[in-house]
Homo-oligomer: A and B are copies of this chain.
Amino acid sequence: MEGVDYLGDERKKAVFDVEAMKIVWAGSRHAFEVSDRIAKLVANDPGFRKDGRTMLPRKELFKNTLRKAAYAWKRIIELRLSEEEASKLRVYVDEPAYTDLHWGMFVPAIKGQGTDEQQAKWLPLAYKMQIIGCYAQTELGHGSNVQGLETTATFDPHTDEFVIHSPTLTSSKWWPGGLGKVSTHAIVYARLITDGKDHGIHGFIVQLRSLEDHSSLPGITVADIGMKFGNGAYNTMDNGVLRFDHVRIPRNQMLMRVSQVTREGKYKQSDVPRQLVYGTMVYVRQTIVADASSALSRAVCIATRYSAVRRQFGSQNGGPETQVIDYKTQQSRLFPLLASAYAFRFVGEWLKWLYTDVTQRLQANDFSTLPEAHACTAGLKSLTTSATADGIEECRKLCGGHGYLCSSGLPELFAVYVPACTYEGDNTVLLLQVARFLIKTVSQLGTGKQMVGTTAYMGRMEHLMQCRCDVQRAEDWLKPSQVIEAFEARAARMSVSCARNLSKFANPEEGFAELSADLVEAAVAHCQLIVVSKFIEKLQQDIPGEGVKQQLEVLCGVYYLFLVHKHQGDFLSTSYLTPKQAALANDQLRALYSKVRPNAIALVDAFNYTDHYLGSILGRYDGNVYPKLYEAAWKDPLNESVIPDGYHEYVRPLLKQQLHTAKL
């Protein structure tokens, strides 16, 4: 059976150069080569197997994660992997672990908020993993509202120490990944109090566990917060709870890059701009957008391949049945997700550029683009994670009953992904921030203030408020300028309409609260415009490879026309489109689905995912689904015996009408 390729015919249908598309997806030839090499290295190493993961009880699951994390680190050292390679390796090991927080939050927090001395002291320890750190911000009672955190750090001038304390139950740290069982240290966010005065939330480096025997230090209570959504999934992570009972740390463990406490207990700001913090946020959220495209593309890859394997109905004269991918309903649910995966990929790439741009400007003390960059990353984080979470579940449903099996990989992918809608900013809270920014921008129209970056279109407000769509035939919907205008007009009109309605309120804050659901819709329209524009901009570049650019144009069309159809209410109610034009968009969309169809398998092959990384029998590269599903069933612990545990106590007495004497 090895060597079969049930999808071979599908692969032959493609009219573009898959290898070239792989480079586009990866971002560059170099990125492709690194990814490809590391992915295979992980896939071929039995130490990184993950196939039994969803069957393990928590303790075994977690122990195995500890093993894998250590093994990964060992391999990174042995193979002398570069930072880029090491981080790719962690991606392909594909198992949430304390190392994610250590590298992704603890180290960056010290880098971003620590003074030079602090960096010199702590970073070498962290880089060698002589200490393991986590990021302890959220509390039982406060997540979104960081300013409401209750943990206190009170300066004691007698001993030159801070006293870290949890004054209430709700002030318990709750959620930090890596905290529950592993981290030796944490960046703890607490209210800084000096001389009775509250200076708000600051970060502190706190040691939690003994480096000798891992016992928790005096005054510290720490544990895991318990099972989370799904089997396997995020349960490999020890999200933790942490309470402090007057724990003392030296003064120099407050992160002092931006503000400081002196030996005398005086609080002062350094000359480093506070805005630097936003730079870090832009960075983290940019990685989240990139992750969204990875997660969505994995789900789409599984559902696309399986939809080509699965046949149901439509057999004629005893011939094979129809592949479900040939049903237009299946296409209309699947192909927009395929297009979204590509769209998010490209907007993620652009965000990487934006981050660099912002960083350079910050270094030159130019803060002018920061609010715009901040709103834009907040909005894109929200948009892409919500769409990805929903998209993964839709892919699962597209696989019918078999999608509900863990062996399909989709339940775990969903369960491990969904918290991205909540962490690093709850998606609704973020959209409200975007909305606030948009309203402010609208209010500045006509004041001579320059509209920058993704809000530049607002500078053409007069035109955008009046223009009408030109489309007369379905093909007109393929004109990029036409499409951009449509999305700009929609976003602009929705923002302006919100602003007008707001102006009817005497109290602007009350108005904002009352109209917040509409404001969120305006924010979504703005963010979708960004994704569409960046996709179109990408296509204005030179893209090598036979047929590659054409395929991307088709996907881009699917992405925006799907949005036009889904949100036609917005386009019609703002009177930009006529019903006839909306119908033409839908016709064009259908036509594009037919162009995607023959290329669908090749388009997901271009993600270049190994079967190990995909972790799905339905998504196997070779399409050999049924025998492998059948085989996998036998591995369930329930199948260790034909007669199940409990038969004698609970089933036989029932069948034999002897329950009255049974011990139950």
* In the complex, residue of chain B having the shortest beta-carbon distance to the beta carbon of A131: B655
The CA-CA distance from A663 to B322 in the complex, in Å, is: 51
Indicate if the CB atoms of B644 and A181 lie closer than 8 Å.
yes
Q: Provide the residues of chain B in CB contact with A218, threshold 8 Å.
A: none
CB atoms of A630 and B169 under 8 A apart: yes
Tell me if A401 and B415 are in contact (CB < 8 A): no
Judge if A214 is at the interface, Cβ distance under 8 Å: yes
Compute how far the CA of A140 lies from the CA of B216 in the bound complex, rounded to whole angstroms. 51
Q: Given known contacts A241-B630, A638-B224, is B650 in contact with A66 (CB within 8 Å)?
A: yes
Q: How far is the CB of A614 from chain B (nearest CB, A)?
A: 17
Q: How far is the CA of A601 from the CA of B335 in the complex (A)?
A: 41
* Contact status A405-B225, CB under 8 Å: yes
> Cα distance A569–B490 when bound, in Å?
14
Contact yes or no, B517 A332, CB < 8 A: yes
Return chain B residues, CB-CB under 8 Å to A315.
148
Given contacts A227-B54, A404-B419, A404-B422, contact A515 B145 (CB under 8 A): no
Closest partner residue, chain B, to A497 (CB atom): B583
Cα–Cα distance between A659 and B69 once the two chains are bound (Å): 11
- Contacting A182 at CB < 8 Å: which of B62, B215, B644? B644
Q: 1/0 per residue A394-408: CB within 8 Å of B? A: 001100110111110
Is A660 part of the contact surface with B, judged by Cβ < 8 Å? Answer: yes
A537–chain B nearest beta-carbon distance, Å: 28
A312 and B142 in contact, given A182-B651, A228-B406 (Cβ under 8 angstroms): yes
CB pair B569 A636 closer than 8 Å: no
Residues of B within 8 A of A630 (CB): 140, 169, 172, 241
Q: What chain B residues lie within 8 Å of A74 (beta carbons)?
A: 659-660, 662, 664
Contact pattern, A 626-641, Cβ under 8 Å of B = 1, otherwise 0: 1101101111111110
The answer to whether A321 and B230 have CB atoms under 8 Å apart is no
Interface residues of A, dominant DSSP: helix
Interface centre among A568, A570, A644, A647 (most CB of B within 10 A): A644
Interface string of A133-160 (1 = CB under 8 A from B): 0000010111111001000000000000
Q: Give the Cβ gap from A457 to chain B, nearest Cβ, in Å.
A: 22
Q: Is the CB of B328 within 8 A of A132?
A: no
Contact A582 to B590, CB < 8 A, known contacts A636-B224, A651-B70: no
- Nearest residue (CB) in B for A594 is B514
- A657 CA to B626 CA in the complex, in Å? 46
Query: Interface readout for A31-68 with B: 1 if CB under 8 Å, 0 if not?
Result: 00000000000000001000000111111001110110
Which of A401, A513, A590, A660 has the most chain B CB atoms inside 10 A of its CB? A401
A479 contacts B by Cβ under 8 Å: no
A650 touches B228 (CB 8 A): no
B residues in contact with A427, CB < 8 Å: 397
The count of identical subunits is 2
State the CA gap A228–B406 with chains docked (Å): 5
Partner-binding segment picked from A252-260, A354-362, A571-579, A603-611: A571-579
Q: Which residue of B lies closest to A397 (CB)?
A: B421
Q: Which residues of B contact A54 (CB under 8 A)?
A: 227
CB-nearest residue of chain B to A649: B67
CA distance A113 to B567 in the complex (A): 47
Residues of A within 8 A of B (CB): 47, 54-59, 62-64, 66-67, 69-71, 73-74, 77-78, 128-132, 138, 140-145, 148, 169-170, 172, 175, 180-182, 184, 211, 213-216, 222-231, 234-235, 238, 241, 311-313, 315, 321, 327-333, 393, 396-397, 400-401, 403-407, 411, 414-415, 418-419, 421-423, 426-428, 432, 513-518, 520, 565, 567-570, 572-575, 579, 582-583, 586, 590, 626-627, 629-630, 632-640, 642-647, 649-655, 657, 659-660, 662, 664
23 contacts between A and B (CB under 8 A): A47-B664, A63-B650, A66-B644, A66-B651, A70-B662, A70-B664, A73-B654, A78-B660, A129-B655, A145-B312, A180-B638, A184-B655, A211-B655, A214-B651, A223-B639, A224-B638, A225-B636, A231-B235, A241-B630, A328-B516, A328-B517, A393-B393, A517-B590
